Amino acid sequence: MTAVPDNPDRPGRTLWAWVILVPLVLVLSLLLALLGLPSPVLFGSLAAGLAYALLVPRAPKVPSFAFTFGQAVLGAAIGATLKPSAISSLRHDWFPVLLSCAATLLLSVAAGYVLRLKPGISAATGVFAMVAGGASGIVAIARDLGADDRVVAIVQYLRVLIILLGMPLVVHAVFHPPQKVYGSEVFDPTADNGLPPVLYLGSVGIDLSPHWTGLAMAALSLLIGLPLARLIPFPAGALLFPLTVAAVLAGTGAIGANVPYWLENVGFALIGLQVGLRFTRESLRAVAGLLPLGLVTIIGMVVVSAVFGVILAEATGHSRLDGYLATTPGGLYAVLATAVSNGSDVAFVLMVQIARLFVMLFSAPLLARLIARPRD
């Protein structure tokens, strides 16, 4: 293996680092995708950056403008999931849904303070590691909000993995769904239609191909959102302002397409590398020491979230399976696929999941201020 020189700031040496990193990102992301794991590019990039940082004395840094671009693209991708039909569905059940989101937010805070029992874990790190919903968005803004994004990324991914592995067992052992039903919706995880690549529930306001319309959505979100983030001093503005612009465009039906899948993955890769390249052997040992407590806390959180789902189902007249899937704290792709395959009310499940995602991301800056402590 070609040795990477100690000083990565010199252009030639930095170039060699990226010549190694880019193929490594591609290989690990593809491997995670073939294994069916969630967010393969985000966590493939994180793993690539982590491996490089541990093997090479000095790792390069993701340029600040590139990380900001990644945050903005991810924000636009999240905002584009808000469709007019989701808003319409929320019209009748908005109060119990928002109560459910608020209860999950409080549960996340409580679980975060449990993680704080581990020495060296700050309140911000614990809370954002346990925030239920929008894992990729939380990882992208964790450092901006005063948390250790390395811990946040690992714990968030652990939660998504636990849900991914445990949900099929819970669905069939606890809720006993009827025989598999196929509707008109088709789950296609490879569809080039952004996040989530499952259903299109909105109306098209601009008569262009989905790909070019999605690019228009991303371009407008960044061109409007990023200048606002610079003008208005707001925590995590690089993600939240493009998200808001995209949500307005999608929610009003002005543009009815999601950010292209490939562009979203570029954002994921930049965010994953930003986090992974900052790992050290000491920080990795610290994260590993947190995992037993994190595992127990996550399982408890999943159980309480299921109880919230049953209560929400009773309040809205939906099935208990619908309520469970709607309040499952993570794993959106797997949740929607499960909803489709078991004949659940997919529109309701997606509506609640998106509502919680927005509540979590927009509450994050306020949470950061509330739990912040004066530094020594």
Please report the pLDDT score of residue 13 as a whole number.
59
pLDDT tens-digit profile of 171-188? 888 877 765 544 434 444
23 found inside a domain? no
C-beta neighbour count of 102 within 10 angstroms = 13
Residue 1 lies in a domain: no
Residue where the block lists tokens 């549960």: 107
Q: Is residue 16 part of a domain?
A: no
Q: Where are the beta strands (DSSP E) in the chain?
A: none
Is residue 254, in this structure, part of any structural domain at all? yes
How many folded domains does the chain comprise?
1
Is residue 303's pLDDT more than 90? yes
Domain containing residue 166: CATH number? 1.20.1530
**pLDDT, tens digit, 9 for 90 and up, residues 33-48:** 898 777 889 889 999 9
In a domain, 328, yes or no: yes
14-23, 87-96, 127-136, 361-370: which range is least confident on average? 87-96
> Would the pLDDT of 3 be above 60?
no
CA distances to 41, 42, 77, 220, 270 from 263, rounded to whole Å, are 11, 12, 9, 14, 11
288 assigned to some structural domain? yes
Alpha carbon distance 2, 140 (integer Å): 31
Q: What is the pLDDT of residue 254?
A: 85
pLDDT in tens, 337-360: 788 878 788 888 888 988 898 999
More confident residue, 6 or 116: 116
Tell me which residue range forms the domain holding 78. Answer: 41-371
pLDDT in tens, 107-143: 999 999 999 888 889 999 999 999 987 788 899 999 9
pLDDT in tens, 241-254: 999 999 999 888 88
pLDDT band of 170, cuts 50, 70, 90: confident
Is residue 252 assigned to a domain? yes
190 part of a folded domain = yes
Q: The tokens of 52 are what?
A: 């490089």
What is the average pLDDT value for the chain, to the nearest integer?
82
pTM tops 0.85 = no
Choice between 6 and 370, residue whose per-residue pLDDT is larger: 370
Range list of H helices, 317-345: 320-327, 332-341
Q: How far is CA 24 from CA 18, 19, 59, 220, 262, in A?
A: 9, 9, 14, 32, 17
Whole-number Å distance between alpha carbons of 27 and 45: 10
